[in-house]
Structure 1
Amino acid sequence: MTNKKRELTLRFLAEPSDVNFGGKVHGGAVMKWIDLAAYACSAAWSGKYCITAYAGGIRFVAPILVGHLVEVTAKIVYTGRTSMHVAIDVQASDPKLQENRLTTHCIVIMVAVDEHGKPSSVPEWVPSTPEDIALRESAIRLMNMRQEIGEEMEAHVQYLK
């Protein structure tokens, strides 16, 4: 077990440059914030440069408005030999009211790499609480489902050729 920090939260205000044509924060801006938080979390855990291997299951639950205080929380929920599965929750609120609500959530898989860009080993994360055990088990189930979806997508692509 490592003493490395497995969770972090980025906090900032949504800016006018983040807005889409509908007046809400653009989904692409939210995805960028998710990637930044996943990188910071995985780099802190592994002590290495990390790259995004997968971002999926992104659910946009509620809009974010300009001026909202945004909190992007990233938490390691599973580690492989070189990869880290990072659960991301995005919450936002009017800073005057401070009533956070979930706006987006997803899983991002980050891979640690060495100075030559080759995958590099990461410290194992071992869950110790019932909640953490459930998160790890969920990450494993999702990993298995992604494998099945990947195989189906490969078969689908063969029909398009």
Structure 2
Amino acid sequence: MYKNIEDSQITITELMLPSHSNFSGKIHGGYILGLMDQIAFACASKHSRHYCVTASVNRVDFLNPIDVGDLVTLKASVNYTGRTSMVVGVRVESENIQTSEIKHCNSSYFTMVAKGESGKNVPVPGLILNTEQSIRRFSRSIVRQKQSKKRSNKFKASKFKIDDHLEILKTHNAKIEL
């Protein structure tokens, strides 16, 4: 079974309140991360028609601060489907209500896994790729997965060779005392 990407896309908008702010008066990053996880869950669950759990989050860079009183809009879309997992792209934008200025605050990729009633992983519908953008996003997810596996294998304790890394450490803010 295959589904259109549009069938599971979700958008939510929320007013940022003082209770969401950190000590500098900006919206707390942890609060935004929680909203991102919620919308990724909703999007993945809508696509798979199953309860989903977050397996991993691929890099979250906070590009612009969000102010109290801003409207924050989160957009989620399934970018990739494996056998039981999905990569959900999440985009966060803030809008100043008074000026209508919209800022891109961050984007991230959540790997979500569909679970059956027994708690076991269950297959998910595939994606119908019908635009150049959908093919680009699906392909990018494949490449990102391969890079992640290569990166994690390179630094496994059983394969790590300290001599391969000592030279590069000399140019960084670290002191080696072995």
The answer to whether the superposition gives a TM-score over 0.5 is: yes
Relative to structure 1, is the Cα distance of residues 48 and 96 closer, same or farther in structure 2, using a 3 angstrom cutoff?
same
The farther-off stretch of 63-72 and 93-102 is 93-102
Alpha-carbon separation, structure 1, partners of 2:122 and 2:24: 42
Alpha-carbon separation, structure 1, partners of 2:106 and 2:148: 20
Relative to structure 1, is the Cα distance of residues 125 and 55 closer, same or farther in structure 2, using a 3 angstrom cutoff?
same
Tell me the residue number matched to 2:71. 69
Tell me the residue number matched to 1:2. 3
Q: CA RMSD in A?
A: 1.8
Q: Which of 28, 42, 45 is residue 44 of structure 2 equivalent to?
A: 42
Normalising by structure 2, what TM-score?
A: 0.83
- CA displacement 1:66-98 (0-9 Å, x = unmatched): 110000111100000000101111000112333
The farther-off stretch of 42-51 and 98-107 is 98-107
Normalising by structure 1, what TM-score?
A: 0.92
The farther-off stretch of 38-47 and 93-102 is 93-102
SS of 2:7's equivalent in the other structure is coil
Relative to structure 1, is the Cα distance of residues 127 and 29 closer, same or farther in structure 2, using a 3 angstrom cutoff?
same
Alpha-carbon separation, structure 2, partners of 1:156 and 1:100: 48
Question: What is the number of equivalent residue pairs in this alignment?
Answer: 159
Q: Which of 10, 13, 34 is residue 11 of structure 1 equivalent to?
A: 13
SS of 1:138's equivalent in the other structure is helix
Tell me the residue number matched to 1:143. 145
Tell me the residue number matched to 1:23. 25
Tell me the residue number matched to 1:121. 123
User: Any stretches of 5+ residues in structure 1 without a counterpart?
Assistant: none
> In the TM superposition, what is the alpha-carbon distance from 1:124 to its structure 2 partner?
0.3
Q: Which has the larger radius of gyration?
A: 2
SS of 1:96's equivalent in the other structure is coil
> In the TM superposition, what is the alpha-carbon distance from 1:143 to its structure 2 partner?
0.9
SS of 1:125's equivalent in the other structure is strand
SS of 2:61's equivalent in the other structure is strand
Alpha-carbon separation, structure 1, partners of 2:156 and 2:15: 41
Note the 1:105-116 alignment, pairs <5 A: 105-116=107-118
SS of 2:109's equivalent in the other structure is strand
- CA displacement 1:11-37 (0-9 Å, x = unmatched): 111111111111111111111011001
User: Any stretches of 5+ residues in structure 2 without a counterpart?
Assistant: 162-178
Tell me the residue number matched to 2:176. none
Conserved in 1, the CA contact under 8 Å of 2:60 and 2:107? Answer: yes
Alpha-carbon separation, structure 2, partners of 1:45 and 1:119: 15
Alpha-carbon separation, structure 1, partners of 2:41 and 2:122: 15
What letter corresponds to residue 86 of structure 2 in structure 1? M
